[in-house]
Amino acid sequence: MEQSAKRTIPAVHRFTTDPAIASYDAIVGRSAVKAAVQSVLDSCRASRADAPAFDALRSRVIARLADIEATGLLTVINATGVLLHTNFGRAPLAKSALDAVARLGAGYTNLEYDLDSGTRGDRYERITSQIRDVSGAEAALVVNNCAAAVLLVLDTFARGREVVVSRGQLIEIGGGFRLPEVLAKSGATLVEVGTTNRTYASDYRNAWSPSTALFMRTHPSNYRVEGFTADIDARTLAELARELAVISFEDLGSGALVDLTRFGLPHEPTLAEEITAGLDLVTVSGDKLLGGPQCGIIAGRAELVDRLRRNPLLRALRVDKLTLAALSATLADYAEPERLTGIPLFAMLSATTETLMRRARSLASQLSNAAGVQVEPIGMQSTSGGGTLPLGKIPSAGVAIRASNHTAEELASALRARRPPVIGRIEGGRLLLDLRTVRPDDEAALVDALASL
Ligand SMILES: *Cc1c(COP(=O)(O)O)cnc(C)c1O
C-alpha cells in the first residue's frame, strides 16, 4: 500500500539530458555529472519519505555539481593564442595519452615488475628505449619536471664542485626557476664566464680548474640576446669538455623532438641534434614543445645516467605510472609522421590561417545580430609561450570584440566568469579571441559565451 503511494524516482537520463545539468559535462566531466545524479537518486531511494518532484531533485543535482566545480580544476577555453600557456597547464594531451592514462590508471600495472622472472623490475626500462629511439642517446631517465632534472644532474655531479656557465645563459624561467639559485641549492659553485653578450671557448678553458665538474649551457628559451653576440656552440663545448675531462651538460628546456620549421616556425635545436653534437647530458621538459605530460627527461651517456639513478634524491623526484603512461603514448605518436597531429600541439600548429579565418567568419556570422556587441573576424598572431620560441610569431586568425557600452576589460571579465571560462587577450582597446588555441569542439560553447555578452 505504502509502496504504491510512493512517487517514482525519475530515470537518470532525464537528469543527464537536462540542459542546465548537461552544461556541467564540459566543466566537471560527464562521468562526474552522472555520479552526482546517481548519488542524489541513491540518497532519495534510501530515504523512507516520498521521492521529491523532478524539479526539486534537479536543483539538488545542480547544487552538488556547483560544489564540485567550486573545489576542482576547471576546463578553460584558451583563446589567448598562447599554445603552451604555463598558467593553463601547458600542452593539452593527445587522445592516445589520455586513453593510456585511463586504461593503466584504472588497474594495476607492471610498473616495477618483471613478468619473465616474477621479481622486481625497472620503472624506467620501457620509457628509456623510447627516448633512445627519438634522441639517439644511450640512456635516459624521467623525473617530475625539467627543473627537477637539472637539480638531479647538479646534485649528482657538482655538489661541492664548480659549474662553468656563460653569463649570457644565467637564465630565469617563470615560476621561480633561476639557474644561479638552483645551482646554490644543489651545493655547486657557479663560475660565470664571458660577458652578457659574448662568450668564447677560451673563456671556458680559462675557467677550468681541478674542481670543475661540469661545463653547462642553457637554452635561452624565453629571451634572445641579439646584435653583437658570440656564443660557444654545443659541439665545441662538448669537445672542450672531453679534452679537459669534465662533463658537458645542456639544459635545453623547450624539448623539441622534431624540426619545427615544417610548421613554419623558427628552428629550435632538437634533443637528437644536441645529443649528436656530443653533449654528455641533456635535459628537456615533457609539457613544452614535446606536447606531453609534465615531466623532465634526462638523456645522455649510459654511465652518467647510471650514476643519476643511484642518487637517493631520485626517489623524491620520480614520476608515477600515469605520467609514464602519458609520456610513452605521446612518444609512440612520434613514431609515425601521420600520427604526429594526434598530439594537440601539432594539430594546433598545423591549422592553416585560411581554416582559422573561415572559423572566425562563421563565428562572427552566428553573432551578427547580437545587440551592442561587434564581433569582427581578423588576422592576428599566436605565440608558442611556455618559455619556448621567444621570437616565433605564428600567423593566426580569430575575432575582435568591441561593445558599445563596455570596455574590453569588462568584456574579458564577463567571459572569464562564464562556465567554461573563456580567456582572451586585450590589444588596442579590443578583446581578441585567437582561434588557433580553441578546439573546434569548444566553438559552440564560445558562441554561447559571446551571445551572453
Ligand atoms: C622551461 C624550462 C625549464 C623548467 O622546466 P619545467 O619542466 O617547467 O620544470 C628549465 N630550463 C629551461 C631552459 C626551460 O626552458
Q: How many domains does one find in the chain? A: 3
Element (H, E) at 358: helix 353-366
Question: Looking at the structure, do residues 54 and 126 belong to the same domain, yes or no?
Answer: no
Q: Is the CB of 186 under 6 A from ligand 1?
A: no
Tell whether omega for the bond before 266 is within 30 degrees of 0, i.e. cis: no
Helices (DSSP H) in 118-211: which residue ranges?
A: 125-135, 146-158, 179-185, 201-207
Give me the pLDDT at residue 2, please: 44
CATH code at position 398: 3.90.1150.180
Give me the residues paired with residue 433 across strands. Answer: 399
Q: Is the CB of 430 under 6 A from ligand 1?
A: no
Phi and psi for 23 in degrees, rounded to 5?
Answer: -65, -20
DSSP secondary structure string for all residues of 372-398: TEEEEEEEEEEE--SS--TT-EEEEEE
Which DSSP category does 123 fall into? T
Element (H, E) at 248: strand 247-253
Q: Which residue out of 173, 182, 217, 327 has the highest number of ligand 1 atoms within 8 Å of its CB and is therefore the one to mutate?
A: 173
Question: Looking at the structure, do residues 246 and 145 belong to the same domain, yes or no?
Answer: yes
Give me the pLDDT at residue 387, please: 61
Residue 106 in grid coordinates: 584504472
Handedness of CA 133, 261, 252, 145 (dihedral sign): negative
Question: Looking at the structure, do residues 56 and 195 belong to the same domain, yes or no?
Answer: no
Question: Looking at the structure, do residues 445 and 391 belong to the same domain, yes or no?
Answer: yes
Q: What is the pTM of this model?
A: 0.86
Question: Looking at the structure, do residues 190 and 264 belong to the same domain, yes or no?
Answer: yes
| Residue identifier of the C-alpha nearest atom 15 of ligand 1 | 253
Q: Is the CB of 254 under 6 A from ligand 1?
A: yes
For 242, what's the count of Cα atoms within 13 Å in the CB-facing half-sphere? 12
Question: Looking at the structure, do residues 170 and 254 belong to the same domain, yes or no?
Answer: yes
User: Widest CA span of the chain, in angstroms?
Assistant: 97
Q: For residues 150 and 182, is the Cβ–Cβ distance under 8 A?
A: yes
| Rounded distance from Cα 275 to ligand 1 centre (Å) | 18
**Domain of 154, in residue numbers:** 95-340
Question: Looking at the structure, do residues 82 and 118 belong to the same domain, yes or no?
Answer: no
Question: Looking at the structure, do residues 106 and 239 belong to the same domain, yes or no?
Answer: yes
The SS3 assignment for 238 reads helix
Q: Is the CB of 296 under 6 A from ligand 1?
A: yes
Give me the pLDDT at residue 3, please: 47
Q: For residues 238 and 280, is the Cβ–Cβ distance under 8 A?
A: yes
Q: For residues 38 and 12, is the Cβ–Cβ distance under 8 A?
A: yes
Q: Report the candidate in 387, 340, 386, 342 with the shortest Cα–Cα distance to residue 89.
A: 386
Give me the pLDDT at residue 389, please: 64
Question: Looking at the structure, do residues 58 and 144 belong to the same domain, yes or no?
Answer: no
The CA-based angle 159-164-168, given to 5 degrees, is 130
Give me the pLDDT at residue 224, please: 67
Give me the pLDDT at residue 386, please: 64
Question: Looking at the structure, do residues 194 and 220 belong to the same domain, yes or no?
Answer: yes
Please report, as a single letter, which amino acid is at residue 201. Answer: A
Q: Is the CB of 169 under 6 A from ligand 1?
A: no
| Rounded distance from Cα 2 to ligand 1 centre (Å) | 66
Q: Last residue of a domain, which of 307, 340, 373? A: 340
Atom of ligand 1 nearest to the CA of 148: 9
Q: Last residue of a domain, which of 340, 362, 379? A: 340
Cα–Cα distance for residue pair 180/218, rounded to 1 Å:
12
Question: Looking at the structure, do residues 172 and 253 belong to the same domain, yes or no?
Answer: yes
Burial of 69 (0-12, 13-18, 19+ CB in 10 A): middle
| Rounded distance from Cα 162 to ligand 1 centre (Å) | 22
The SS3 assignment for 27 reads helix
Cα–Cα distance for residue pair 220/389, rounded to 1 Å:
9
- Core vs surface per residue 179-195: b (16+ CB within 10 A) or e: beebbeebebbbbbbbe
Question: Looking at the structure, do residues 194 and 120 belong to the same domain, yes or no?
Answer: yes
| Residue identifier of the C-alpha nearest atom 5 of ligand 1 | 146
Q: Last residue of a domain, which of 317, 340, 363? A: 340
- Residue pLDDT tens, the chain, 453 long: 444 445 788 999 999 999 999 999 988 888 889 999 999 998 888 877 788 899 999 999 998 898 888 777 888 999 999 999 989 999 999 999 999 999 999 999 999 999 999 999 999 999 999 999 999 999 999 999 999 999 999 999 999 999 999 988 887 766 677 888 888 888 999 999 987 778 889 999 999 999 999 999 988 766 666 777 778 899 999 999 999 999 999 999 988 999 999 888 888 899 999 999 999 999 999 999 999 999 999 999 999 999 999 999 999 999 999 999 999 999 999 998 899 999 999 999 999 999 999 999 999 999 887 778 899 999 999 988 766 665 578 999 999 999 988 999 999 999 998 888 999 999 999 999 999 999 999 999 999 999 988
| Residue identifier of the C-alpha nearest atom 3 of ligand 1 | 253
